[in-house]
Amino acid sequence: MSRVKTNAMRILDSHNIEYNIITYDKRDGNIDGPSVARKINRKPEEVFKTLVTKGSSGQLYVFIIPVNEELDLKKAARATEEKRIEMLAAKDITKYTGYVRGGCSPIGMKRHYPTFIHESVVYLNTLIVSGGKIGIQIELKLKDLQLITGAKICKLIK
């Protein structure tokens, strides 16, 4: 069986970063974070979702938070030093990231956007993020994700 290589995987490979590919069945249409965590038999606090937002300045930002949590827009604005942060419209996800909603990886977007990870990640040996395609997750070390994305750790959830 040939493995699909996503842009995120190619970037990790090019930096010689170790990662595990975790796949799940997407045919039932349940691709929300908590469903994915259940499907891959992992705790929701180990599986992170990638959220793309827009600041009042027009700058885009990426936030990586546990799948069972909600982004606190006030904390996000503070982290980015923006007056206001709002979620990017779902219809614009592909245009700005190159990924589809539900398969948006923090690794390998069309452009590099300032990236932030919720502080709970420091208690984990590894974290799981989208592999860049619905049905594919990537497990890797925080330091490796930070190396690729430049992500800062901060308080981000409600």
- Does residue 3 have a pLDDT over 70? no
What are the pLDDT digits (tens) for 56-67? 999 999 999 999
pLDDT at 1 over 60: no
Measured CA to CA, the distance from residue 44 to residue 66 in angstroms comes to 6
pLDDT in tens, 9-32: 999 999 999 999 999 988 888 888
What's the whole-model pTM score?
0.94
DSSP labels, 112-131: ---EEEEGGGGG-S-EEEEE
Q: How far apart are CA 150 and CA 35, in angstroms?
A: 28
Query: What single string gives the DSSP state of each residue in 32-70?
Result: SHHHHHHHTT--GGGBEEEEEEEETTS-EEEEEEETTS-
CATH class of the region 7-154: alpha beta
- What is the rounded distance in angstroms from the CA atom of residue 49 to the CA atom of residue 31? 11
Residue 70, CA distances (Å) to 17, 62, 117, 130, 158 in order: 29, 14, 13, 17, 6
pLDDT in tens, 93-121: 999 999 998 899 999 999 999 999 999 99
Domain spans of the chain?
7-154
pLDDT score, position 142: 96
Predicted confidence (pLDDT) at residue 152 exceeds the cutoff of 60: yes
